[in-house]
Structure 1
Amino acid sequence: MLFRALKKFRLPSLPSLLPPSSRAIVSNSILSNVKKNFLFPREFHNSQTLRSSSPFYLKSEDTDYSQSMTSKLPEKIQLIAKKTAEMENSIMMISQTQGSFFALLVQVLKAKRILEVGAFTGFSAACFAEGLRILGNKDDSKVVSIEYNKEYYEIAKNNINNAGYSDLVELILSDGASALKGMDNSKQFDLVFIDADKAGYKNYYDIILERNLLSDDGIIVVDNVLFFGYVHKVPKLEAEGKLDTLPVEFRDHFIALSRFNEYVKNDPRTTQVLLPVFDGLTFVRKNI
């Protein structure tokens, strides 16, 4: 569905997945040829890595097929996705397949309390809430979702209410750092999803750990950590003094995400896995 919404974009090339989620407006100098191969960077495909461990291309037909073989989200959540796809910045929404994955992840973790930094239109929050509902709406079950943009906050609020999840989703209009610093850390979260401003990722991550907002068995999931397949280019380009060759619209995003990825990789407090799926998802767990 989202790819149909993106047909209007015509760009030079993309070395990786044209992601269904990105917390920024995507301009014509970044997006490229949605119909062509995407998901894993071309550099990986053409590397000398053994074929048995080498990532492979997925095409738009593969993602469509994956979605068709995935348990469908309720119509009320699909309606949020449909309405969001009509918005100018629809690229900021996660895909329905990723939403289905998140609903399943809640069930697998048997999560009760979920924290989301970056609500956008409420689609991902609704997916988390659906996972909670399937588990049985246990006491204290809740999705706490933070959104800085007032327009998006109001849209998310209406979408959540109309979809019937207002009993499970608490929306907070605030910048991420202020909201996190003011939270009651006596009630920890089992799942945290970070999908907001990229420059703020490190700060959100640190506050969550330093204030002990994550339960011992909980995980943090961070979105867009590959960001169009440009993030992995940053260290080499920086060493060569060529950071100015990165697309200017998102240069700061690429650099911030590269710094964040390195920071988490070297953080002795946690163990992490960065998966090359969607636009890159990092899963983080505390070292107990």
Structure 2
Amino acid sequence: MSFTTSDVNDWTRSDIYHNSFLISPDATLDSTLKLSEQNGLPPYAVSAAQGKFLYLLAKSIQAHRILEVGTLGGYSTIWFAKALPPDGEIITCEISEHYAKVAQQNIDHAGLTSRVKILLGPAIDTLSRLHSDETFDLAFIDADKQSNVDYFIQAKRLVRNQGVIIVDNVVRSGRVADPIQSDPSIDGVRRLLQYIQNDSTVEATTMGTVGEKGYDGFLFAINKPR
């Protein structure tokens, strides 16, 4: 079997093709991206295919409470909220007041206000104030990569036994694995991998992804029973 070199144009075309069969058009999600762009938010939201994956993951474990670190414009938040039962809840942490305001507009427009609570401020402070007796089924970490280990430790504390923790952007076009490369985000991912290697309380793996967002990947971890 021979393979040809591909690039982001091929990956984007593939995403569009597969999405045309598997993801129904959603005006609410489209407007979320549009309003975020109009308000100057960076284009860091997950792709539609990734959003659908997160939605299906939450549905598959029958998640009732979800924790998100990094709200941005609320795109992934809305995907998660759609997966919750009517009395479910997603708590999402955002440091930027501007981002949080745009996200709240998007969440309200999606009719999901009752399922989403945005907590404004540095996420590590917000997480440390959450009580571990109110456990979450799933945590999604997609914020500043320098703080990955701190966020992960808090997520472990707050996610139930056998609950899921997802960390986004852990491959970074393969640069994390390149010893010549170094920047705060790359080093933050490396510290997380080193931390998990010596952590007997979780099981984890990284799944590389390619698509319209380029070459990156998720870290998928499960809390072991304690």
TM-score by length of 2: 0.88
Q: Secondary structure at the match of 2:86?
A: coil
Which one of 149, 154, 171 corresponds to residue 96 of structure 2? Answer: 149
Query: Letter of the aligned partner of 1:68 in structure 2?
Result: S
CA distance in 2, matches of 1:73, 1:156: 20
Unaligned 5+ segments in structure 2 are: 1-5, 211-215
Partner of 1:287: 224
Q: Secondary structure at the match of 1:69?
A: helix
Q: Secondary structure at the match of 1:186?
A: coil
Mapping 1:267-286, distance limit 5 Å: 267-278=199-210, 279-286=216-223
Partner of 2:86: 137
Identity percentage of aligned residues: 27
Structure 1 residue 88, shift from structure 2 partner = 4.5
Structure 1 residue 199, shift from structure 2 partner = 0.6
Partner of 1:216: 161
Structure 1 residue 273, shift from structure 2 partner = 1.2
CA distance in 2, matches of 1:63, 1:120: 22
Deviations 1:240-281 (A, max 9, x none): xxx5xx5xxxx2111221221222233211100100025210
**Pair 184,206 (structure 1): closer, same or farther in 2 beyond 3 Å:** same
Which one of 5, 18, 24 corresponds to residue 66 of structure 1? Answer: 18
CA distance in 2, matches of 1:204, 1:283: 14
Unaligned 5+ segments in structure 1 are: 1-35, 40-57, 238-242
Partner of 1:29: none
| Bigger shift: residues 278-287 or 185-194 | 278-287
CA distance in 2, matches of 1:83, 1:157: 11
Tell me which structure has the larger Cα radius of gyration.
1
Structure 1 residue 85, shift from structure 2 partner = 4.4
Q: Which runs of 4+ in 1 moved over 4 A?
A: 85-89
Structure 1 residue 220, shift from structure 2 partner = 0.2
Which one of 247, 250, 257 corresponds to residue 189 of structure 2? Answer: 257
Structure 1 residue 87, shift from structure 2 partner = 5.5
Deviations 1:174-222 (A, max 9, x none): 111111110122110001000001111100111222xx31111310000
CA distance in 2, matches of 1:107, 1:79: 23
Q: Secondary structure at the match of 1:225?
A: coil
CA distance in 1, matches of 2:201, 2:58: 23
| Bigger shift: residues 253-262 or 166-175 | 253-262
Q: Secondary structure at the match of 1:92?
A: coil
Structure 1 residue 72, shift from structure 2 partner = 2.2
Query: Letter of the aligned partner of 2:220 in structure 1?
Result: F
Q: Secondary structure at the match of 1:83?
A: helix
Q: Does 1:118 align with 2:70?
A: yes
Q: Does 1:128 align with 2:89?
A: no
CA distance in 2, matches of 1:111, 1:59: 30
Q: Does 1:37 align with 2:10?
A: no
**Pair 213,73 (structure 1): closer, same or farther in 2 beyond 3 Å:** farther
TM-score by length of 1: 0.70
Q: Number of matched residues?
A: 215
Q: Secondary structure at the match of 2:148?
A: helix
Partner of 1:178: 125
Partner of 2:35: 83
